[in-house]
Structure 1
Amino acid sequence: MEWWCRGIGWGGGVPGLRWRGGRVSALAYGQRLAFRAVGVRRCPGARGNPCPLEAAVPGRATGGRCPECARLDRAHSVAADTIADDPQPYRVYLAWFGPGMTKVGITAEARGEARLLEQGAVAFSWLGRGPLMAARRTEEVLRQALGVPDRVAYERKRAARHALPPTEDRAREVEELYRRARAVGGWTETLEPLEFAARDHVGVFRLDGLPRLDGTVAELVDGGVVIGRLLAAAGPDLHLLAPDGRCLALDTRLTGGWILEAAGEGEGFSVPVTAVAPVVESAQEGLF
């Protein structure tokens, strides 16, 4: 039986590797991971539909889909602003990923905190709830008014996790953003404001005490081995302690489309690794 990976999922607040056919392998902190990529990386399809061509895709592409499947996935995405008639309630959130790294976003209320876990938000607070288009308008108004971006680069997110400030400092920064958002006029006429309540994911992600990040996996290659003890997981990233003592991050979006098989006991870490660039902390001054 071939184990064709589809990346990581956060079902029930627990990380797990997803496989074609709907299987999920739950991940436990401290466990040993050891697998080898086999063959050619192929497009896994989109929206539950397999790629009709099983097209080959580049190893370094985090999207991991062929152009046609990528278009199909984007066409049905709330993030792409292509859905206007979804009747379910949505929530606006304020997410914090590290000092000076915040964003405003929306998610379907029924999904709970899943979207925040998928993005690797270290801390967050709900801001308001209501219809999709009202939530979308509020998201855009607040981005402009607060000077926060619509996304934070994964490279910055993962590097910041290794030197986090105390819990109270994280909550304070989210609360300050919440206070500024409530002071922006107009949006409370279409959305129900929600009281501030800081929520923290450091325990869920197991980020306390992470050693310095030494590098990130650049891509998987045929025959390449990933091996290490799982220290933490946040968003799509697995933080691993490699056999040689390095702390390395694997963005599991790079695993989607690969067939993975168990690696042997004597094998070493043999996929390309990119050194981590230093993070320059600065206040956000605009949308980009």
Structure 2
Amino acid sequence: MTQAWRCTGLRWGEGGPELAWEGGRRSGLERGKRVAFAVLPTGVRTCVGARGNACPVLAEVSGRSTGARCEECARLDRAHSVAADTVADDPRPYRVYLAWFGPGMVKVGITAAERGPARLLEQGAVCFSRLACGPLMAARRAEELLRAALRVPDRIPYADKRAVRAGLPPLGERVAELAELHKRAVALDGWPESLERAPFRAVDHSGVFGLDGLPRMDGVVSELAAGGTVSGEVRAVAGPDLHLATARGLLVLDTRLMPGWELTAAARDEVTVPVRRSVETDVQDGLF
């Protein structure tokens, strides 16, 4: 009988990026690691549930969904989400930050102070600086202030982030762009008094992600499918994205496509899942 695993997503820990699996197992994703897995030929992608609870009907979900949840479970998950602005009584302190993803691509966001840089790593922020820290609702008001006064968005599409990772400007240039926006942000009138402003201090993740010398991508995995195979060598990991050197070129796999499938070790070194081509252009441990 073929042994299968179910992935629960990519996690950023102190030791770097890892794929997490049901049952608690983790697989490291250091540069040069071989990633090779196949979707069971008879597999169907099922909803991963919400808030730690299984989907009551094990609903089938689209292979293109990055949420891997049915409509009802997605609604329940967002009902308890700080990011969805549905939680107002969280007593924890929150940080307001500016995150840089590429030239002209800076967003404002908030994250629980206790999470440290985890949220920025999860988003694939190449560089960031904190702006302030304080109560949740005050942090939200500051976020809205920056959106309105400086036209800084709170979201940047992943497709845009991926498109600029190869050939990023030097560290000094990206820090300078972030520093200028930080200066303008802290000088605004209307900051909530309960927030403690933070001095500019850039934190750069290009080394952590492995972006130095990263070539342009040749394509992006658009979905997994029953019987499909993905095999390649890790060149970089940024946010949820694996940049893999494969027989079909440098491909990006958004690991949010993996949960909900039953996966097994790949028998062949190939990529047979659907790939959207870029317009710009051996001993296994379990699945690896």
TM range (shorter): over 0.9
Instruction: State yes or no: 1:219 paired with 2:223.
Output: yes
Tell me, in whole angstroms, the C-alpha distance in 2 between the residues paired with 1:50 and 1:131: 32
The equivalent of 1:83 in structure 2 is 87
Aligned to 1:30: 32
Identify the range of structure 1 (41-50 vs 117-126) with the bigger mean alpha-carbon deviation: 41-50
- Give the distance between the partners of 1:108 and 1:71, measured in 2 at CA: 22
Taking the aligned partners of 2:182 and 2:160, their CA distance within structure 1 comes to: 22
Q: How does 1:114-263 map to 2 (within 5 A)?
A: 114-187=118-191, 189-244=193-248, 246-263=249-266
Alpha-carbon offset, residue 190 of structure 1 = 2.5
Give unpaired runs (5+ residues) of structure 1.
280-288
Deviation sequence 1:95-119 (CA, Å, 0-9, x none): 0001111100000000000000000
Higher helix share: 1
* Identity across matched positions, percent: 62
Task: Give the TM-score taking structure 2 as reference length.
Answer: 0.93
Q: CA RMSD in A?
A: 1.4
Tell me what 1:282 maps to: none
2:44 corresponds to: 40
| 2:22 equivalent to 1:20 | yes
Which structure 2 segments of 5+ residues have no match?
282-288
Q: 1:101 to 1:278 in 2, by over 3 A?
A: farther
Structure 1 runs of 4+ aligned residues shifted over 4 Å read none
Q: TM-score, normalised by structure 1?
A: 0.93
1:104 corresponds, among 85, 88, 108, to 108
Residue 8 of structure 1 pairs with residue 10 of structure 2: yes
Partners in 2 of 1:159 and 1:42 — Cα distance?
A: 30
d(CA) in 2 for partners of 1:25, 1:43: 22
Shift of residue 204 of structure 1? 0.6
Pairwise CA distance, 1:18: 1.5
Q: How many residues align?
A: 277
Report SS of the residue matched to 1:162: coil
Give the C-alpha shift of residue 188 in structure 1.
5.2
1:283 is matched with: none
Contact 1:37 1:259 in 2 (8 A): yes
